[in-house]
Chain A
Amino acid sequence: MSQYVVLIYEDEESWASGGQEAYDQAMKEHMKFGKENQAALKGGSALQPTATATSIRRDSSGNQSVTDGPFAETKEALGGYYVIEAPDLDAAIAIAKQVPARFGGVEVRPVMEFD
């Protein structure tokens, strides 16, 4: 068994225009996903929107500089993630396809294992 992280990327503007209806629908879908994949789910969280993000990088003089916003401005922003356990990538993909991501999609990344 191996762990994978399923990263959820979605267009935040679509969420804004979707309003309460979209939000409620997504909640329902995430609960359903959680119930149906209980055995494989090892963790996960929804993240608050990128407007709440703070980034820290080293500037040209080597000092850490704190700025407003996500690390990279992309059309689809990171909105949440699940940690799942699966025997191989095909099994991980089968689970990841069930993750609700109406306004975008997901990335499946294997977790690094250290000896």
Chain B
Amino acid sequence: MAEAHRREWGFVLAATVRITRDIDVAEECVQDAYAKALRAWGSTGVPTKPSAWLTTVAKRRALDLGRRQATFKRSLPLLVDEQEAPALDSAALGEAADDRLRLVFTCCHPALSPDAQVALTLRLLCGLTTAEVARAFLVTETTMAARITRAKKKIAAARIPFRVPAPDEMPARIDAVLTVVLLLFTTGHRAPAGENLVRADLVERALDLARMLRALLPADADVAGLLGLILLTDARRATRTAPDGRLLLLEEQDRALWDSDAIVEGVALVDEAHRRRPPGRFALQAAIAAVHAQAPSWEETDWEEIVGLYDHLVTVWPSPVVALNRAVAVGLARGAPAGLAALAALAAEPQLADYSYLPAARAEFLRRIGRLSEARASYDEALRLTDNAVERKFLAERIGQLEAAPGTSAGERAT
């Protein structure tokens, strides 16, 4: 029953929103349907197609409510434009697919703040409770509830429509959706706080969404790139922490334990993503992940190729975090002094002021060339900036090692 809930929530809600044209009312109808399901399936068992059952019941309730009200609420913004030429072949995809796409584009509308986009996507498409979404982003449930309510009010008041964008709007709109899904993945992949390095539930959600997008937009190169990136990065999941919970760097991971099926699938997606010229940022990030995934060992990693990919990525996506990752690659390709020079150029970046990976990377390179007291200062700075228990332990150990004896190897910050 819980499985049915997770998998189907987005489908059922999207189909119901189409009738109610109001997200809150739709949620009530869907919750009603789930409650009925709990009662009915207790005796009859879970049907083979739970979503069909749930959708029928939810829509029936929605229509009931509509008949009882004199009119639908006037401020409803949600319109399904039946006349618009669909960007996809809806006959092939089916009505249900269109509804989920409509919902994801609505949740990720640029008129909503990025925080709101992420919160709505998790809540409405993935079926997480408000409490679960709050935990994912380290805020109180009250704060998250208020954020979601504000977002729904904005959708209603400004009349954000329930539709798949027109072809000319698609590139920007898809980019927004992919950004949200990638943020979900990175938040799960390297949890900003808490006891575990990975929040598997968020990673699974992100993967589900990426697969859903891939199924609904099979021709889109960036969608392929995102799915490839997630698969290739998550392929390492089993090896990122030692059995005792200690953080393992990319350098230390047992590559035999990487998920080879995911890697094969990911690499194929990278090829596909590069068919669009020039390749977009998701394709390039995926390509970088592919270089790592295919290198037989840390020592045999083609760092110059990675630097080259970052050179492209930085032009397509001039983000300081990308520049930081590039600087690390430069150091690994051309030596610690080159890495430190590249990092120094980022020292004044306001967006990196609270980013623990900048001092951590600096510390690793300083350590390599024997500037140990400076390395120590940088590790301290990194420690101050991260709340994740596993990462804190790693940094504390590095500091301990510096005090004991000079380290002989430093790893890239990636895990």
Contact = CB atoms under 8 A, between A and B. Distances in A.
B158 A89 contact: yes
Contacts of A87: 79, 159, 161
A2 B391 CA distance: 51
B341 interface: no
A90 B163 contact: yes
Interface residues of B, number: 14
B111 interface: yes
Contact of A88 (B74, B79, B169): B79
A110 B74 contact: no
B295 interface: no
B165 interface: yes
Interface in A85-113: 87-90, 92-93, 108, 110, 113
Nearest to A87: B79
A115 to B, nearest CB: 8
Interface in B127-174: 157-161, 163, 165, 169
Contacts of B161: 87-90
Q: Looking at chain A's contact residues, is the secondary structure mostly helix, strand, loop, or mixed? A: mixed
Nearest to A108: B158
B165 A110 contact: no
Interface residues of A, number: 11
B77 interface: yes
Contacts of B75: 113
A110 to B, nearest CB: 5
A112 to B, nearest CB: 9
A43 to B, nearest CB: 19
Interface string A52-75: 000000000000000000000000
A104 to B, nearest CB: 19
A64 B21 CA distance: 45
Nearest to B169: A90
Interface in B65-79: 74-75, 77, 79
A90 B106 CA distance: 11
A110 B163 contact: no
A78 to B, nearest CB: 20
Interface string A34-48: 000000000000000
Contacts of A93: 111
B160 A89 contact: yes
Given A113-B74, A113-B75, A88 B157 contact: no
Nearest to B155: A89
B312 to A, nearest CB: 29
A109 B169 CA distance: 21
A92 B158 CA distance: 10
B155 to A, nearest CB: 9
A115 B71 CA distance: 13
A110 B156 CA distance: 10
Nearest to A90: B161
A2 to B, nearest CB: 6
A90 B158 contact: no
A89 B105 CA distance: 13
Nearest to B160: A89
Given A110-B157, A110-B158, A110-B159, A90 B165 contact: yes
Contacts of A115: 74
Nearest to B111: A89
Closest 3 CB pairs of A and B: A88-B161, A88-B159, A89-B158
22 contacts: A2-B159, A87-B79, A87-B159, A88-B77, A88-B159, A88-B160, A88-B161, A89-B77, A89-B109, A89-B111, A89-B159, A89-B160, A89-B161, A90-B160, A90-B161, A90-B169, A92-B159, A93-B111, A110-B157, A110-B159, A113-B74, A115-B74
Given A87-B161, A89-B77, 9 more contacts: A88-B159, A88-B161, A89-B109, A89-B111, A90-B160, A90-B165, A92-B159, A110-B157, A113-B74
